Structure 1
Amino acid sequence: MPAATFEPPAHRGLLTESIARRLQNEIRSGAIPVGAKLPSERELAVQFGASRNVLREVLRRLEAQHLIEVAPGRGSFVIDQSTADARSYDALYRAGRPTVRQLIEARIPIEVEIVGLATSRATDVQIEAMRTANAAMIAATDPVVKARADLEFHDTIAAAAGNPVLRIMLSSIGGMMFEMMLRSNSDPSIAEPGVPHHPEILEAITARDTDRARHHMREHLSLALRTYGPDLDLSLDVMAANHIETLLHRRSTP
């Protein structure tokens, strides 16, 4: 494989995120119009200086987001985002260019209520799932893997709340949450003060202490209000793109 297309495992996830975001933005902005055929995996790999495995994952993600349709033997085509079936909640949210602050304002009432319900309803098996997700997050060294484990931790709490409406509501903002978690888990100024919150939330849930669980969740989600600085009022898309490029630059610099 050419040197330009070799990616260390920890670099591969960030590169996938970066390329996926660039193509998402071009499709959503209309720069790549509806009906347009995307270049082949090989052509995209050359264009972005990435391996075909990375581009394959990027295209799978675009298809899952209903941005493209893959026609076997013909290629990948941009599909109409105005149809009800294709227009996901994530796309609707992003159309309003929400900021980091606005996402936090939305998460607090949803997740504080979720953790309160989970504290009184979680089974031992569900609490163990929370512990497993948290352990995976702590053990991860790849920032993308760590962020996905963080998202899984919050989803296990939502599952334990026993309210499918609340879980779906939280899931609908999962893409934006992931972008915040990627930043929070790879920026030392944010990650270090945030580390104790998951164990504190877990301890409160295990003790069936609803008030304490709600308090720790609120503190956990409010941390970014104190640590994100000027990025707090950037759109999530801009904040995430800037941070991913910063991480890629750090990893490519000797």
Structure 2
Amino acid sequence: VLRRLEAQHLIEVAPGRGSFVREQSSGQARGYDALYRAGRPTVRQLIEARLPLEVEMVRLATRHATDEDIAVMRGARDALESATDVVVKAQADMEFHDAIAVASKNPVLRIMLSSISGMMFEMMLRSNSDPSIGEPGVPHHPEIFEAVEARDEELAATRMREHLMLGLRTYGADLDVQVDIMARNHIETLLGQAEVRRAGGGRAGE
């Protein structure tokens, strides 16, 4: 039993001193990423998992956020809105959702979010570079932030739910594709587009 616990990084065995429970962190939660990927989750399944997690998280954040938490959230929102590079935009997107997790004051929820952050980032690369995702009238980060700042729990929860549900309407055939495969295909598309732009620029300069 001790060997299994040690293999899972749940305890540390110190020769001559005994066994000690290891402190867990958000960073260590990412070790579960491989475990999730072994189950070959689809985009739809990832969205279904995020819905209850992040809707409750934003409720708690609306209730418990400090002025400092609000400031961090605002900074992430501004970075997301001003970013033009797809990768920078996806990073800011992750930071916004993590800021909500921190503001929830529930470390269990934050670690749960962190454990799926790799797959979330892959989805965000697609979402932040696909014009069809920007469906008019759907709440996005500024609207979610406004509800949190106004301390309106129900509105924040509703806006987060609608924001996450957008993927179920806009991902099309990719919904039931494995997250890894969707990400690889989309990154290859982005690289192909970059090559076309580079070639076009080269011809224009000749």
For 2:151, what is the secondary structure of its paired residue?
Answer: coil
* 1:119 corresponding residue in structure 2: 62
What are the equivalent positions in structure 2 for 1:2-81 lying under 5 Å apart?
A: none
Partner secondary structure for residue 115 of structure 1: helix
The Cα of 1:195 is off from its aligned counterpart by: 7.4
Counterpart amino acid of 1:233?
D
Distance 2:102 2:69 in 1: 8
Question: Is the partner of 1:88 in helix, strand or coil?
Answer: helix
Tell me the amino acid that sits aligned with residue 238 of structure 1: I
Secondary structure of the structure 1 residue equivalent to 2:72: helix
Report if aligned partners of 2:138, 2:163 keep a CA contact under 8 Å in 1: no
Find the aligned partners of 2:169 and 2:122 in 1 and give their Cα distance.
18
Q: Superposition pairs for residues 133-152 of structure 1, below 5 Å?
A: 133-152=76-95
Matches of 1:139 and 1:194 in 2, distance apart?
20
CA pair 148-193 structure 1, distance change in 2 beyond 3 A: farther
Paired residue type of 1:109? P
Residues 1:234 and 1:194: Cα distance change in structure 2 (over 3 Å) = farther
**Structure 2 letter corresponding to 1:84:** Q
Q: Which moved more, 1:153-162 or 1:87-96?
A: 87-96
State the TM-score, normalized to the length of structure 1: 0.65
Indicate yes or no: 2:123 matched with 1:176.
no
Is the 1:194–1:220 Cα contact (8 Å) retained in structure 2? no
CA RMSD of aligned residues (A): 1.7
For residue 141 of structure 1, report the CA deviation from its aligned partner. Answer: 1.3
Higher relative contact order (CA 8 A, sep 6+): 2
Specify every segment of 5 or more residues in structure 2 that has no aligned partner in the other structure, as ranges: 1-6, 10-27, 201-206
Match of 2:74 in 1: 131
Q: CA deviation at 1:193?
A: 4.1
**What residue number does 1:235 align with?**
178
Q: What corresponds to 1:248 in structure 2?
A: 191
User: Which aligned segments of 4 or more residues in structure 1 are displaced greater than 2 angstroms?
Assistant: 83-87, 191-196
Matched positions, count: 172
Uncovered stretches (5+) of structure 1, i.e. residues with no partner: 1-82
